[in-house]
Amino acid sequence: MRKIANIFWLGTKELRSFSHDFVLLGLVIYAFSFAVTMQARSSAQELHNASIAIVDEDNSELSRRIAHAFLPPYFKPPRMIAEADIVPKMNAGAFTFVVDIPPHFQRDVLGGRRPDLQVNVDATAVVQAGLGAGYAQQIITAEIAGFMSKAEHTQLSPVNLVVHIAFNPNATTAWFSSVMGIINDVTMLAIILSGAAIVREREHGTMDHLLVMPLTPFEIAMSKVWANGLVITVATGLSLYIVVKAILGIPIAGSIPLFMVGVVIYLFFATAIGIFMGTVARSMPQLGLLYMLIYMPMNMLSGSNTPLESMPHWLAIAVQISPSTHFVSFAQAILYRGAGLSVVWPRFLATATIGGLFFWLALRRFRSVAAQTA
């Protein structure tokens, strides 16, 4: 009971120290609120409200069908302009796309003469230009095929391909990027907060005070684990409920409480990495450099940015030793696909086992450093 009481009161000291560190406090608030919102709204990889104009030099039924086929939310309602206005309007940035339908277009299509239809694209908007050009081609091709089938009274293809996109029907990037931003923030801040807690104690000289008290290195380390873990757990839960669900309006398929259980398990590993780095670094700048060397590869190879299937086979097997890989896997399964405990428990077990091993190694390192300091 005495050990538990020591861990509890040392943790409350850590929470008070964190509440007075406005830089770290601001970092946590920013990472789980504004950063998640900006990542969801600014890094969209789909076409949305692209400005488009139509130059209808044919004024036929087919040209009108093509003009009316460009619909929101991919495109803004098309505006009709003259052929002479194409260059000035494109130079002024008024439109991202201008479709020029030439004279006698419908007659030439019906006559099988394969006329040219010009699509002008403003490629300074790289993402919109690349995606929009493909959308425009599909829309125009579909309208011409539908028109020809009715004009010639021919049957369409007997095979109708129906594509069902699971878990994200409109393939909206924000549904993915917002949640993955929170998942990445859990790892990032767990390492930074726990590592900074150790470095701060050493820089302020309070580590020596703790070591001369009737406390063990295990109690000191565990107090920092639960205190910083509590901060990140609360911030994660609030971010999912308030930022993702309420503000961004993004649905969560699975159980958030089940995901939070996984976060608590994973934090033993992430905070252990921070404690280990805190015992190696002698100052905050050194901690920052070590953080970049460890976090960046771990994040890139965890499956949060690219799936493991796209990696070389040997690398996909090697990264299984990192709990961050299992954390990303069960986080995506729960939050995106609505998986239950019966599905994700092997990932929970792997995260707890490997995380416990890392925590044991970090605790040994912390005891060694504490013995040298004493």
Identify whether residues 214 and 309 lie together within a single domain.
yes
pLDDT for 266? 94
If one compares 240 and 288, the residue with the highest pLDDT of the two is 240
pLDDT for 162? 78
Identify whether residues 118 and 251 lie together within a single domain.
no
- pTM here? 0.77
DSSP state letters, 34-87: HHHHHHHHH---S--SB-EEEEESS-SHHHHHHHHT--TTTBPPPEE--GGGHH
Residue 99 within any structural domain of the chain: yes
Give the up-direction half-sphere exposure of residue 168: CA atoms within 13 A in the CB hemisphere: 13
Residue 166 within any structural domain of the chain: no
pLDDT for 238? 94
pLDDT for 82? 92
pLDDT for 257? 93
d(CA 197, CA 359): 16
pLDDT for 362? 85
Residue 269 within any structural domain of the chain: yes
Beta-strand pair 97-101/79-80: unpaired
Mean pLDDT within 207-232: 80
Q: What is the DSSP letter of 320?
A: G
Identify whether residues 72 and 29 lie together within a single domain.
no
CA angle 196, 201, 205 (to 5 degrees): 145
Per residue in 290-332, pLDDT (tens digit) is 888 888 888 888 888 778 888 888 988 888 888 899 999 999 9
Per residue in 144-163, pLDDT (tens digit) is 888 887 765 555 566 777 77
pLDDT for 374? 55
3-state SS assignment for residue 199? helix
Mean pLDDT within 172-179: 83
Tokens describing residue 306: 């690219």
Beta-sheet strand order (sheet of 52-56): 79-80, 52-56, 97-101, 118-121
Q: Is the pLDDT of residue 10 over 90?
A: no
Q: Using alpha carbons, select from 94, 77, 75 the residue that is nearest to residue 85.
A: 94
In terms of residue numbers, what domain contains 116? 52-151
Identify whether residues 15 and 32 lie together within a single domain.
yes
Q: What percent of the chain has pLDDT over 90?
A: 28
Of the ranges 2-6, 167-171, 347-351, the best mean pLDDT one: 347-351
Q: What is the DSSP letter of 283?
A: S
pLDDT band at 344 (very low <50, low <70, confident <90, very high): very high
- What's the CATH number where 146 sits? 3.40.1710.10
pLDDT for 23? 87
pLDDT for 43? 56
Q: Using alpha carbons, select from 223, 196, 222, 212 the residue that is nearest to residue 279.
A: 196
Average pLDDT, the chain: 86
Residue 359 within any structural domain of the chain: yes
Encode 57-72: b = buried (16+ Cβ within 10 Å), e = exposed.
ebebebbbebbebbee
Identify whether residues 100 and 136 lie together within a single domain.
yes
Q: Is the pLDDT of residue 256 over 80?
A: yes
d(CA 271, CA 286): 17
